[in-house]
Amino acid sequence: MRKVRDYDAELTALRDKAKAIKARKVEQLGALVVATGADALDLEVIAGMLRQGVMEAKLESVRESWRADGAMFLERRGRKGNGPAAGDGTGAG
């Protein structure tokens, strides 16, 4: 006899998982803003930096340079991009 699948329950579980993943991503991005000290900047400045960065990131050489700098920053902070941000909470890295 074949087991009956509960598609509604599976779909709900997938939605919950996607929501949790999105919430974790938002939390990690916020922690990154604080860890880099960018939280001391105005929202307009941060938005402008990100928009210009996205445009510049189309160049592979720029992305590689940023990747190396980011890896160095994260290693210096004693983490490899996982878990909560380390530090004293002041935003100074």
Q: Is 90 contained in some domain?
A: no
Which letter does DSSP use for residue 3 in this model? Answer: P
Same domain? 16 vs 34: yes
Structural domain that includes position 69: 41-81
Domain count of the chain?
2
Per the CB < 8 A criterion, the answer to whether 62 and 54 are in contact is no
For residue range 8-44, what is the model confidence (pLDDT) as tens digits? 999 999 999 999 999 999 999 999 999 999 999 999 9
Same domain? 3 vs 31: yes
Q: How confident is the model at residue 69 (pLDDT cuts 50, 70, 90)?
A: very high
For residue range 84-93, what is the model confidence (pLDDT) as tens digits? 444 444 444 3
Per the CB < 8 A criterion, the answer to whether 77 and 86 are in contact is yes
Q: What is the pLDDT of residue 93?
A: 39
Same domain? 53 vs 29: no
Q: Is 74 contained in some domain?
A: yes
**Among 43, 28, 24, 37, CA closest to 73:** 37
